[in-house]
């Protein structure tokens, strides 16, 4: 099946974030901010806190619950409107796990071993001792997407390979069962900040799991913390150049320019036009001001929302019911296609 065949599916966006730690500026610029843009473009949008993915590595149960609520608060504070988008946590819609099992039987083990994230997460450790879930992780991710017949998935650069695998799994299912049932999903990896780097090392991705808190901006950081982390961000001694090409070998400088561009909603070229010839003594305070103006209201609103966890749980429950209503018929059709008897009265 080609992308052209997707014309028979209505446009629908699905994406997810793991509640395995506090969200970072990388999650915000690479994912969350773009989720809001897609919602505001009027496309049907389904957003999921993938708690089943989070437990592929050990999570303290109470922390996981708190982090899931915090992530939900981040979505809402950043502009996701749970009446326009569907916002829910994955484990409340059991069809994700059920479809994942079917897809586990379609995907090949070798495909899983080739995933660079699996290799990275097991690097330097005994891979045989990691959870089976960590290996099968991308097949659950494919289930998340295909369960809704989602046609587009906005993500950061690091998810590209997983989305290619999702396409492969959908194509193999369609081929094996001789159907045109699953869409071949289009990854949306767009904008200046598809790969936000660590503030301490411009060659490493900004990540919630980095041991150094100074390496990232957390969505819960207050104005002082944000400004201080940007002030202390690693840079070089050169002024900013006129063209992006000249930033090729200056990963830290390029990262800060990209962050500025994404926060401002401008092209990196436009940022350089304004700051070319200026050193970081001038650029960092401007970036800090912009970051604080954008992020401090989000962290303030998150605090307010998290003061009422019952309301967050209610929102997630409502979202799960709406997600389930879309997922159940697609799961039922899938089970039918693979030859399962469906005879229960309810």
* Residues within the interface to ligand TYM (CB under 6 A): 14-18, 26-27, 30-31, 50, 53, 141, 144-145, 153, 155-156, 158-159, 162, 193-196, 205-206
Q: Which position among 33, 38, 208, 229 bears the catalytic label? A: 208
C-alpha distance across the termini of the chain, in Å: 34
Candidates 65, 35, 29, 57; CA nearest to 217 is 29
Residue pair 51/144 in contact by the 8 Å Cβ criterion: no
Which is nearer to ligand TYM, 85 or 159 (by Cβ)?
159
Which is nearer to ligand TYM, 9 or 239 (by Cβ)?
9
Do β-strands 44-49 and 12-17 pair in parallel, antiparallel, or remain unpaired? parallel
**Is 10 a known active-site residue?**
no
Which is nearer to ligand TYM, 206 or 247 (by Cβ)?
206
Least distance in angstroms from the C-beta of 335 to ligand TYM:
21
Q: Which position among 121, 160, 172, 204 bears the catalytic label? A: 121
DSSP for residue 12: E
Residue in the shown chain whose Cβ atom is closest to ligand TYM: 30
Least distance in angstroms from the C-beta of 278 to ligand TYM:
25
Could you give the residue ranges of the DSSP H alpha helices within the chain?
A: 25-27, 33-40, 51-54, 61-78, 95-104, 109-113, 116-122, 132-146, 160-176, 223-232, 251-264, 268-275, 280-306, 309-338
Residue pair 102/338 in contact by the 8 Å Cβ criterion: yes
Which is nearer to ligand TYM, 311 or 324 (by Cβ)?
324
Least distance in angstroms from the C-beta of 193 to ligand TYM:
6
**Is 121 a known active-site residue?**
yes
The two three-digit tokens of residue 73, written as one number: 């608060």
- Convert 203-232 to b/e letters by CB count within 10 Å (16 or more is b): eebbbbebeeeebbbbbbbebebbbebbee
Which is nearer to ligand TYM, 244 or 279 (by Cβ)?
244
**Is 119 a known active-site residue?**
no
Least distance in angstroms from the C-beta of 53 to ligand TYM:
5
Q: Which position among 33, 38, 205, 284 bears the catalytic label? A: 205
Least distance in angstroms from the C-beta of 93 to ligand TYM:
12
The two three-digit tokens of residue 201, written as one number: 């090392």
Active site residues: 121, 205, 208
């Amino acid at each position: 099946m080609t992308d052209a065949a997707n014309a028979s599916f209505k446009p629908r966006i699905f994406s997810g974030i793991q509640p395995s730690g506090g969200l970072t500026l990388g999650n915000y610029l690479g994912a969350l901010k773009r989720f809001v843009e897609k919602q505001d473009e009027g496309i049907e949008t389904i957003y999921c806190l993938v708690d089943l993915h989070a437990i592929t590595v050990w999570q303290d149960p109470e922390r996981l619950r708190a982090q899931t609520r915090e992530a939900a608060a981040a979505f809402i504070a950043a502009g996701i409107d749970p009446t326009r988008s569907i916002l829910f946590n994955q484990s409340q819609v059991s069809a994700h796990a059920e479809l994942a099992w079917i897809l586990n039987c379609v995907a090949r083990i070798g495909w899983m071993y080739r995933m660079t994230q699996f290799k990275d997460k097991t690097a330097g450790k005994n891979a045989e001792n990691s959870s089976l879930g960590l290996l099968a992780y991308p097949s659950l991710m494919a289930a998340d997407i295909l369960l809704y017949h989602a046609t587009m998935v906005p993500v950061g650069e690091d998810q590209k390979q997983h989305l290619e695998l999702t396409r492969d799994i959908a194509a193999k299912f369609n081929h094996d069962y001789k159907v045109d049932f699953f869409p071949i999903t289009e990854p949306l990896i767009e904008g200046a900040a598809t790969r936000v780097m660590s503030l301490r090392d411009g060659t490493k991705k900004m990540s919630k799991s980095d041991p150094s808190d100074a390496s990232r901006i957390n969505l819960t950081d207050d104005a002082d913390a944000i400004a201080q982390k940007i002030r202390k961000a690693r840079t070089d001694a050169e002024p900013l150049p006129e063209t992006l090409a000249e930033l090729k070998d200056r990963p830290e400088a390029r990262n800060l320019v990209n962050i500025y561009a994404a926060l401002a909603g401008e092209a990196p070229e436009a940022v350089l036009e304004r700051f070319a010839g200026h050193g970081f003594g001038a650029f960092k305070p401007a970036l800090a001001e912009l970051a604080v103006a954008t992020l401090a209201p989000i962290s303030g609103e998150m605090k307010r929302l998290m003061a009422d966890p019952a309301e967050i749980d209610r929102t997630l429950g409502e979202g799960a019911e709406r997600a389930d209503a879309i997922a159940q018929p697609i799961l039922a059709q899938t089970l039918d296609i693979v030859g399962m008897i469906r005879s229960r009265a309810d």
